[in-house]
């Protein structure tokens, strides 16, 4: 494909590619959590009048997910979501209904956030930043109740995610905001395209010239 490097499409390379990988890893985590919460909300609503069935599902079925959640680094047993469900199981029928609805809404929000991150959309980054920030006070409060390595790790990861999104993606006008972010992204892509175009020429110039003997 010939033409000026400035007209080349923005292809994720180098730092842009690393950013895309990080965002999509976050998206996978949101998808998994969202599906799990949706299933929990549906189960709570469906079986809210059968407390025994809910307790049996909670104690027998949820542990079956542990091998899968361990693979993605999500400690299911110490999860705030599972802790919430554990408390919900002991609630009244009307409370269970509203708790189930709240879980479904939260699960949908997780999926929307995951979709925005996976598609590398600007609104997905804002969505993730706001949602993660709103969860930080809850995680801090949980640490005041009981300190565990998982809870400390989760808090550190989420704080790092917030800082990363704010600084690296220049959200809310930080470091020049969206315009500066797009300019930096375009400049980096342009430099990488030009560098890629120069490599074949350099190899050609370095190739030995054979003379007729």
| Letter string b/e over residues 117-151, b meaning 16 or more CB atoms within 10 A of that residue's CB | bbeeeeebbbbbbebbeeeeeebeebeeeeeeeeb
Query: At 7, is the pLDDT very low, low, confident or very high (cuts 50, 70, 90)?
Result: very low
Q: Which two tokens stand for residue 82?
A: 């599972």
Amino acid 194: pLDDT: 55
Q: What is the pLDDT of residues 84-121, one digit of tens each?
A: 666 666 666 677 788 889 889 999 999 999 999 999 89
Section 23-27 average pLDDT: 90
Amino acid 3: pLDDT: 44
d(CA 168, CA 131): 18
Query: At 168, is the pLDDT very low, low, confident or very high (cuts 50, 70, 90)?
Result: confident
Instruction: List the one residue out of 172, 157, 92 whose CA is nearest residue 125.
Output: 172
Instruction: List the one residue out of 36, 28, 150 whose CA is nearest residue 82.
Output: 36
* Residue 206 predicted with pLDDT over 70: no
Mean pLDDT for all residues in the chain: 75
Residue 1's CB is within 10 A of a number of other CB atoms, namely 5
Higher pLDDT among residues 163 and 93, named by residue: 163
Q: In the chain, what percentage of residues exceed pLDDT 90?
A: 14
């Amino acid at each position: 494909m010939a033409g000026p490097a400035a007209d080349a499409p923005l292809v994720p390379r180098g730092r842009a590619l690393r950013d895309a990988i990080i965002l999509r890893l976050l998206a996978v985590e949101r998808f998994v959590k969202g599906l799990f919460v949706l299933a929990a909300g549906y189960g709570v609503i469906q079986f809210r009048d059968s407390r025994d069935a809910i307790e049996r599902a909670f104690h027998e079925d949820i542990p079956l997910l542990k091998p899968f959640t361990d693979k993605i680094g999500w400690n299911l047993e110490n999860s705030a979501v599972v802790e919430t469900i554990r408390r919900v199981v002991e609630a009244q029928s009307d409370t269970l209904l509203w708790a189930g609805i709240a879980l479904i809404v939260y699960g949908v929000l997780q999926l929307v956030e995951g979709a925005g991150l996976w598609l590398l959309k600007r609104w997905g980054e804002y969505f993730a930043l706001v949602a993660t920030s709103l969860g930080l006070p809850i995680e801090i409060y949980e640490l005041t109740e009981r300190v565990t390595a998982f809870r400390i790790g989760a808090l550190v990861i989420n704080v790092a995610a917030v800082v990363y999104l704010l600084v690296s993606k220049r959200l809310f006008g930080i470091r020049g905001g969206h315009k500066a972010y797009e300019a930096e992204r375009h400049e980096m892509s342009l430099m990488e395209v030009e560098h890629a175009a120069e490599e074949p020429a350099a190899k050609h110039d370095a190739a030995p010239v054979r003379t007729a003997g």
